[in-house]
Every structure is written in structure tokens, then in C-alpha cells.
């Protein structure tokens, strides 16, 4: 089964994290949720506290088939943490899938991975990410997968299943949730 690393900082956007993680798990992917901070409990922007599987420090330099970054105010913490950039670059160099939603494509921007690429993101980062395809809910460019925000989280999760598992499995999961 494919493996996924989802990094959750304090202030993550709950819907953007939970919907893709849920859909990936329904498709059979092994999703590891790693807290950015020192404990496995992370509170999202709307007060929902998640119980992560581990912390990013414990994950270390492990490589997964897909690296997933949710958005929300916690993106500022991911951008400030050199371990996140190192994890992004490690996965990029290993030719693994990189997925970011909402403001999280800014983390990929900081790592120098958006130049010349097609992507979308939340309008809140449009002043930095000037090539956002604002009319697109999700964008796939090679192994780079991006989405606009909480309202596109299910579409994004189904895209991740499509690319990581198969289009057939994505369609099956979509049918099962009436998407």
C-alpha cells in the first residue's frame, strides 16, 4: 500500500487535513500523521484537537510515497521550521508526490519548487505566489498536487487517491461518499 506523511502544525485547517487523510485511508493508503511540535496533540484553527501518530522529529528522514501539507494559520509555523523544508526537498529529490492545499503551497515556494510550475493556492498567499491558477479547484503538474482551500478539500483528497492509488479507486471512494 502507498505511504503518506501528513505534517500538522498548531493552527492547521481541520477540513483541509481531515478530508484528504480520510479519503486516502478509505483508499487503503497508510497515512502517518506527524505533529510539527513536540507532542502528538495538535489543535487546529477552529479548536479541534487531533491525536497524531507521531512527531516530525521521530519521522526524521523517512521517505513516503506522498508528502501532504494542509493549510491554515499553521502554515507560518511550517515555513519557519527548517525541518519542513528539508522534508519537502528530501521528497522532491526522491521523486515522490508533493501535495499542498490552501496557503501550504507557500512552503513549496520557499523550497524553490514552484518556479515554472502550474499550481493553485488560497488567495491569501497570492501576493507571494503570483502564478496561482485562481480559477482551478485542484491542479496537478507532474508530481506536484495543489488545491485552493477548505472548500476544495474533498476534490483534493480524491485527486490524491487518483494519483497515488488509481483513478478507479478514486472513483470508487467518490461513489462511496456520494461525491
Could you say which of 23, 24, 101, 102 is catalytic?
102
Question: Is the distance from CB of 39 to CB of 128 less than 8 angstroms?
Answer: no
Of 72, 77, 10, 21, residue with least CA distance to 43: 10
For 170: left if phi > 0, alpha if psi spans -120 to 50, otherwise beta; the answer is alpha
User: In 21-77, at which residue ranges do the beta strands (DSSP E only) sit?
Assistant: 30-35, 41-43, 49-51, 54-55, 66-69
The set of cell numbers assigned to 80 is 519557519
102 catalytic? Reply is: yes
Active site members: 102
Amino acid at each position: 500500500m502507498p505511504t503518506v506523511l501528513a505534517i500538522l502544525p498548531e493552527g492547521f485547517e481541520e477540513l483541509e487535513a481531515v478530508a484528504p487523510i480520510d479519503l486516502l485511508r478509505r483508499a487503503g493508503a497508510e497515512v502517518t500523521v506527524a505533529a510539527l511540535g513536540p507532542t502528538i496533540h495538535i489543535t487546529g484553527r477552529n479548536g479541534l484537537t487531533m491525536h497524531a501518530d507521531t512527531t516530525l522529529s521521530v519521522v526524521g528522514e523517512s521517505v513516503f510515497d506522498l508528502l501532504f501539507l494542509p493549510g491554515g494559520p499553521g502554515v507560518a509555523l511550517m515555513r519557519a521550521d527548517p525541518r519542513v523544508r528539508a522534508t519537502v526537498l528530501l521528497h522532491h529529490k526522491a521523486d515522490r508526490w508533493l501535495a499542498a492545499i490552501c496557503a501550504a503551497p507557500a512552503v513549496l515556494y520557499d523550497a524553490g519548487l514552484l518556479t515554472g510550475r502550474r499550481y493553485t493556492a488560497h488567495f491569501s498567499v497570492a501576493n507571494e505566489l503570483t502564478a496561482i491558477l485562481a480559477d482551478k479547484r485542484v491542479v496537478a503538474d507532474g508530481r506536484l498536487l495543489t488545491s485552493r482551500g477548505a472548500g476544495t478539500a474533498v476534490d483534493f483528497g480524491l485527486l490524491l487517491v487518483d494519483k497515488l492509488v488509481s483513478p478507479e479507486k478514486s472513483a470508487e471512494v467518490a461513489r462511496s461518499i456520494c461525491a
